[in-house]
Amino acid sequence: MDLTMHTLIIHMSGSSKRGANVEHLLYTLPNAEVAVAVNGRTAVSHHVHPTRHGDVHDPRYPFPLSPGEVGCFLSHRSCWQRIVDAGWEYALIVEDDLSVDPEAWQTALSLVEAHADADSFIRLPAKRRESPATIIDQTGDSKLFLPRVIGLQTVAQVVGRNAAANLLAASTTIDRPVDTFLQMHWIHGQTIHTILPNGVSELTESLGGSTIQKKKQGSKLAREFKRTLYRAQVAARPQTA
């Protein structure tokens, strides 16, 4: 069992606009290495992993998965598998548009080091959209807490070895984006914590925009209605202390 903090940086090879940021992250994050991102178009065309159209779990996900979303999910699964195979106690998984404020980031990492173990999944989100069901610990302004509703996006998270195994077992078929899957604690059985504030931000726009391109279907009003209904169904199943 390896108790050293490791970092996996998800990065699509050949993405030159993000290359400089990846080099910076390799230098600044603990024991960092690049985890080559899965090409979603190739994965879909070669059927490398079972996928469904939002109907594996309840509530049903109302939008079709794009190849980019499939690739993103499989990239995170690859990192989870790496943690299990390497026998790491836990590891930091980040995406290649991550940026951190050093002081706030170090405060957040101190909370990670104090509490993370093989069973942990701790989100370090860029957006402050989660409210606590209970606060676990606090250092300075940074709080480690159990969010009532788990937030979206996956720019940075600490994943323990047992947590990674749980998530792999629960995602043998994927039917929605990885962040919406992670919200469904009642499906994968993994408790998810959050640290805010944490010094994390995203450089998505300055690095050329999102790598997940999705063709919109239907009217904007219809999409917003479906999104609002889905989010209400998720919010109706909060994590509780």
> What's the pLDDT tens digit per position in 100-133?
999 999 999 999 999 999 999 999 999 999 999 9
At the second CATH level, the architecture of 6-235 is: Alpha-Beta Complex (3.90)
pLDDT in tens, 39-55: 999 999 999 999 999 99
Buried b (16+ CB within 10 A) or exposed e, 49-85: bebeebebbebebbbebbbbbbbbbbbbbbbbebbbe
* pLDDT for the residue numbered 124: 98
pLDDT in tens, 175-194: 999 999 999 999 999 999 99
* pLDDT for the residue numbered 42: 95
Q: Which one is predicted more confidently, 89 or 211?
A: 89
Q: pTM value?
A: 0.93
Domain ranges of the chain: 6-235
pLDDT in tens, 9-29: 999 987 678 899 999 999 999
Percent of the chain with pLDDT over 70: 93
Averaged pLDDT, 85-89:
97
